[in-house]
Chain A
């Protein structure tokens, strides 16, 4: 036991580990905020689609060798979010089919680009395509790649996301609960849908480096689903999912340091565990009533 603490203590001497903890907790905070909205608006698929688009953009960024990936990934993902939202509300094209098309397309093209680039030695590819792709999809295997600049970007983005969420909290609730009522009574629900989509895109891009593009949706959806099992008001569900998300991220990171498991999937495993615990709690509560 004392070995574990010694190892933990030793790890926290390293600035990278502290960065990882800060970034991880911020990502957990942001991603849990809009989970309920995503689930209730049936937008979960947009979150998933966007993360694939972000993967494609990441591949392009890697191949072109731009120093800051964000410059390409952020705008591409935001534009896709807006486009996906449009197709989602268009009744003539099946929304889910369009999302599937775009997301799988981005995945395939991204992988192909990275492969070709690696073979020809273009851009910043390391020559080991499998490792590159794997870390983009499932997050870094080691968290030692974070630079101070990444941390600052992450802090800035988190402040923006949290501020937007707090300022528009009541409007987000109104639009999530009943969009047609909101629209009928003169609230510009299209604008707020757009806002939600853009915020989701931002969250996905920030989180992508850390947990990987395939696992982001889990970080957004799981805390909300767990909290919805037990809590009864919108506010308490949000607060609970933030708490769940923070705890899971914290323990996920600690465990991944101690057991040397990949960060992203460790955090998601913690989220899954909590989800089942909450399922049991809700079953017990129902029986007790």
Chain B
């Protein structure tokens, strides 16, 4: 169980305004880390820093040894550009295989098969030729997840994966992510508002606010004072 990702004393923010600071944690191979915290505590910003999309104000984020930049999948929050983009579901899912291509300009058979398998797994196969902008929010989310899965060979980062999904689809999404982690051994890092899911599926919890409030295993979090307080506010255990 080697370390895949390490954060040392990281501060995050915009142009000098510190949102959160003192982040120290390590993600090991096979972990399921859930990042929780109030709105505006910098969870999405942290995900972007982990992916190298945004430089931290201070400190160091590093991918260690085993995982390369092109072995990571990412499920972003949707941007406005994508909502009216003319692209078919197949084209979008296939673009997740791009990081396997290297300099090769076109996709090979295996990559096309992989994309197809992922679409079947997420039950969006019938939508293959449909236009992305005509799908419902939940369907769009599945398409983006299928794309992320194509890209994720060792690790996947998810930013609010269940936004816009109904309760049934939400459950399915969590089950799917859980099985990815358990069966396929893919390391998961997820931002979520949903404490319920966090304590049910995650192996580790990172709770951030103005600074790092907690990092450790789920079991420790649930017995810690901050964990209990947050879970009771967010309506965690009881509603299961």
Contacts and interface: CB of A to CB of B under 8 A. Distances in A.
Interface of A: 36, 40-42, 166-171, 173-174, 177-178, 180-187, 227-228, 231-235, 237
A237 to B, nearest CB: 5
B72 A184 contact: yes
A210 B28 CA distance: 60
B95 A168 contact: no
Interface residues of B, number: 39
- Interface SS of chain A: helix
A232 B130 contact: yes
Given A40-B81, A185-B99, A185-B151, A170 B106 contact: yes
Contact of B105 (A40, A168, A178): A168
Interface stretch (B1-9, B86-94, B173-181): B86-94
Contacts of B79: 178, 180
Nearest to A231: B86
B52 interface: yes
A180 B71 CA distance: 15
Contact of B53 (A174, A183, A187, A231): A183
B85 A186 contact: no
A173 to B, nearest CB: 6
B96 to A, nearest CB: 8
B161 interface: no
A104 B96 CA distance: 40
B86 A234 contact: yes
A184 B87 contact: no
Contacts of A186: 68-72, 99
Given A173-B95, A186-B71, A227-B86, 19 more contacts: A40-B81, A41-B81, A170-B106, A174-B95, A177-B85, A177-B95, A178-B79, A180-B74, A183-B51, A183-B53, A184-B51, A184-B76, A184-B157, A185-B74, A186-B72, A232-B86, A232-B130, A233-B87, A237-B86
11 contacts: A40-B85, A177-B87, A177-B92, A178-B76, A181-B74, A181-B147, A183-B52, A184-B51, A185-B74, A186-B99, A187-B99
B203 to A, nearest CB: 23
Interface string B151-176: 10000010000000000000000000
B101 interface: yes
A233 B88 contact: yes
Given A185-B69, A232-B134, A235-B91, A36 B86 contact: yes
B98 interface: yes
A177 B85 CA distance: 7
Nearest 7 A/B pairs, CB to CB:
A232-B131, A186-B70, A233-B88, A186-B69, A184-B51, A184-B74, A174-B95
Contact of B52 (A166, A184, A228, A234): A184
B82 interface: yes
B134 to A, nearest CB: 7
